[in-house]
């Protein structure tokens, strides 16, 4: 018998941390934070940390990664298994989290030396994707690209006679990034897995990416036709590059102002074509990105003075700024200038945590300015149809739905259970601190 203990991430959006415990093997899948208030960390059980044999990191986003130094502070001396690309991104995420905690007047619960103590092992250097390998005695692992972020992966783990699937953050609908279908994995004649931890961030939302893109296009086009500007706050790495590419396809004839980190992220994609979606070793999408960047029609301001100048010069235009929740000084600088014109629109396209500036704008835009504020999701996670497809294709005796608040996860579970015909399959909607024995 093994046990899953949720240190974070189930019944909530953020601080993903899933402990797998057996008689001999103790593994942790991700260890992130939640950007609410002064910052929320996983409910790590300190006495368990020295017993950990390994930590596996699905990707670099802060809600999956930024509490890893805390493990070393609490006595972890093992390695973190991830991709080389994820490890390369972590320095920026750790720095961003440090800035956030300083801004809200909170001290980090770990030291810089704890961050430096992290020892990485790289999945792609041990085995090709969709291939089993021995990660440590008694533990076999397989990995595949998850389509969520450059470097992001899903994992299959075999330990103590059990097989566990962890989707990480998963999407099969990325414009830029390739995903490896988990059904292509060798799971021994489609046997039932023992446990699946499945990204269900969008709950009962059944919209496809195509649905969302049509909604986004109509909303943006309406603002542009009125002569307004559209501000699109996005993460520095991830959906930001996808949305820039999508916007250039739709509105290449109008000015698109983009902050430098987003362009740098696009250039980095060109150097990591193994993550790009294509039928020809990444060359198709790589060629499009190269052409896009070579056209040199981006406006990339280098200072506030340049930003002010372009704001005065441009009419209908698109503006991409880093920080999807608008917590940064730069994102708020942009908002206060956009808010002076009722024709303008601030368009949020991802998760916005409670207490953030972005959430306050959505709840009470009239308190801050004259422009409109809307949220229309750009899909980088799974909703109803995606989760249904995943649990049908890779069934497990126990499936734990994660990455959404408890009420929405409960609703999704009810929908899925109504469709089940196999009495041996159990779907769980649980909360932080709860356990599943398998």
CA atoms within 13 A on the CB side of 424: 8
pLDDT value for 409: 98
Q: Beginning with the edge strand found earlier in the chain, give each strand of the sheet holding 317-322 in spatial order.
A: 256-258, 317-322, 229-234, 345-348, 372-375
Q: Structure pTM?
A: 0.94
pLDDT value for 189: 46
Residues of the chain with confidence (pLDDT) below 70: 186-191, 279-283, 296
In angstroms, the first-to-last Cα distance of the chain is 6
3-205+381-437, what's its fold? Answer: Metallo-beta-lactamase; Chain A (3.60.15)
pLDDT value for 348: 98
Give rounded-to-5 percent helix, strand, coil for the chain. 35, 20, 40
Domain ranges for the chain, please list them.
Answer: 3-205+381-437, 209-375
Q: Which CATH class is domain 209-375?
A: alpha beta
For residues 240 and 265, the answer to whether their CB atoms sit within 8 Å is yes
Note the pLDDT tens digit of each residue in 146-185: 999 999 999 999 999 999 999 999 999 999 999 999 987 7
pLDDT value for 191: 67
For residues 403 and 148, the answer to whether their CB atoms sit within 8 Å is no
Task: Taking each helix axis as running N to C, give the angle between helix 239-251 and helix 260-270, from 0 to 180 degrees, rounded to the nearest 10.
Answer: 100
Maximum Cα–Cα distance across the chain: 66
Note the pLDDT tens digit of each residue in 210-222: 999 999 999 999 9
pLDDT value for 288: 87
CA atoms within 13 A on the CB side of 330: 21
pLDDT value for 283: 60
What φ, ψ does residue 370 adopt, rounded to 5°?
-95, -15
pLDDT value for 174: 95
DSSP 331: H
pLDDT value for 346: 97
């Amino acid at each position: 018998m093994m046990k899953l203990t949720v240190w974070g991430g189930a019944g909530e959006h953020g601080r993903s941390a899933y402990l797998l415990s057996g008689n001999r093997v103790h593994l942790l899948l991700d260890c992130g934070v939640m950007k609410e208030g002064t910052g929320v960390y996983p409910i790590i059980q300190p006495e368990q940390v020295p017993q950990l044999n390994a930590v596996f990191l699905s990707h670099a986003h802060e809600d999956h990664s930024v509490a890893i130094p805390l493990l070393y502070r609490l006595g972890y001396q093992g390695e973190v298994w991830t991709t080389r690309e994820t490890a390369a991104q972590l320095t920026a995420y750790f720095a961003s989290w440090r800035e956030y905690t300083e801004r809200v007047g909170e001290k980090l619960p770990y030291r810089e030396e704890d961050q430096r103590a992290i020892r990485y092992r790289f999945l792609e250097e041990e085995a090709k994707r969709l291939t089993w390998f021995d990660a440590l005695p008694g533990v076999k692992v397989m990995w595949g690209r998850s389509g969520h972020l450059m470097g992001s992966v899903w994992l299959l783990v075999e330990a103590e006679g059990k097989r566990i699937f962890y989707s990480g953050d998963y999407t099969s609908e990325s414009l830029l990034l390739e995903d490896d279908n988990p059904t292509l994995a060798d799971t021994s004649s489609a046997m039932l897995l023992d446990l699946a931890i499945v990204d269900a961030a969008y709950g009962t939302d059944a919209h496809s990416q195509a649905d969302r893109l049509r909604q986004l296009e109509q909303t943006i086009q309406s603002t542009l036709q009125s002569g307004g500007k559209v501000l699109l706050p996005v993460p520095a790495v991830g959906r930001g590059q996808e949305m820039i590419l999508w916007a250039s396809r739709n509105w290449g004839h109008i000015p698109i102002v983009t902050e430098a980190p987003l362009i740098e992220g696009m250039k980095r994609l060109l150097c990591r074509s193994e993550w790009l979606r294509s039928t020809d070793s990444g060359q198709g999408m790589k060629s499009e990105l190269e052409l896009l960047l070579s056209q040199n029609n981006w406006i990339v301001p280098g200072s506030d003075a340049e930003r002010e100048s372009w704001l005065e010069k441009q009419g209908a235009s698109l503006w991409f700024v880093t920080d999807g929740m608008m917590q940064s000084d730069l994102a708020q600088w942009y908002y206060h200038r956009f808010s002076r014109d009722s024709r303008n629109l601030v368009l949020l396209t991802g998760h916005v945590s409670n207490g953030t500036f972005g959430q306050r704008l959505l709840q009470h835009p009239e308190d801050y300015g004259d422009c409109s504020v809307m949220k229309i999701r750009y899909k980088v996670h799974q909703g109803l149809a995606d989760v249904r497809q995943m649990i049908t294709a890779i069934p497990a005796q126990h499936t734990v739905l994660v990455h959404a608040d408890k009420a929405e996860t409960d609703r999704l579970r009810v929908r899925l259970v109504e469709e089940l015909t196999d009495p041996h399959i159990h779907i769980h909607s649980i909360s932080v601190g709860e356990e599943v024995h398998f």
